Amino acid sequence: MTIREEILNASIILEAANIENASYDAKELMLHCLNISSTDFFLKREESIDEETKLRYEALINRRASHEPLQHITGIAYFYGREFNVNSSVLIPRYDTENLVERVLKLVKRGDHILDMCTGSGCIIETIALESRLTREEAYFLGVDISEEALKVARANKAKLGADAVDIMQSDLFENLNDNLRNSFDIIVSNPPYIKTAVIEELDKEVKLHDPYIALDGSSDGLKFYKKITEEAIHFLKKDGYLAYEIGSDQAEEVRDIMASKGFVNIEVYKDLSGLDRVVIGKLEDGL
């Protein structure tokens, strides 16, 4: 069979397994298997593939049919127009999170110190650094995560993308940040775990079976990390510094109240392109 026919057959298998975007995934896995671009595909789609390649492709399709995420199979996810490495140690960067980056970029200026708490793959802090075009001499960017396995991915992405202005640190939230960093940040940004524990079992198989549980579980009310980060952020932000969160679409009022209780003012909620609450940003009225 030709490459095109193999993809058509694979699409049928994925559709039968209730995989959304089955045709797209079947094609992407073929491109990955052959290590070719979309342009190459159009030139070669009527060619045949050898038996070894066919068996490799079938193995990839079987993995996807079992609801292993496409991005884990290929090791690649796209975020803000860039290609990031991913694996099962990090959340797959999602389009919704681009809303958070976009809002933070409007606040960034030369000389700022910016902290990304729960950085995972590094996609947020590295994108902010690259999009702002500020060098290490012009700004300070720090990504923090508790998981050393996640930080290996963040460091690989830093090297791959040339995000040289970004530092990466292992820490359980603010635990390993030294006293020199207190009251030093102009912006703290975070996409923390915010799924209610009881809801995790209701998520799609791609998420509940393959995303790291530690990056999903926000405890019984989903607010554990908003409370912890907000409580500590006031000691690490400058006066008039900003705290910016990605939130679940039903958490805006609760997160706003948490921030207001710790002295944040001018708290704004921003919607994503679907019209759902997605980002909350507030300013610290008085640094501590």
Q: Residues comprising the binding site for S-adenosyl-L-methionine?
A: 145, 191
What six digits make up the tokens of 20? Answer: 């959304």
Strands 166-170 and 82-85: unpaired
* Positions at the binding site: 145, 191-194
Closest C-alpha to 280, from 259, 98, 113, 34: 259
**18-25 long-range Cβ contacts below 8 angstroms, 24+ apart:** 19/64, 19/65, 19/67, 25/64, 25/70
* Positions at the binding site for substrate: 191-194
DSSP E strands: which ranges in 207-251?
237-246
Q: Dihedral (C-alpha) 154, 155, 156, 162: value to the nearest 10 degrees?
A: 100
Q: Which residues contact 1 (CB under 8 A, 6 or more apart)?
A: 9, 48
Is the Cα dihedral 98, 103, 105, 108 positive or negative? negative
What six digits make up the tokens of 11? Answer: 């699409």
- Provide φ and ψ at 16, rounded to 5°: -65, -25
Question: What's the CA angle centered on 99, arms 122 and 121, to 5 degrees?
Answer: 15
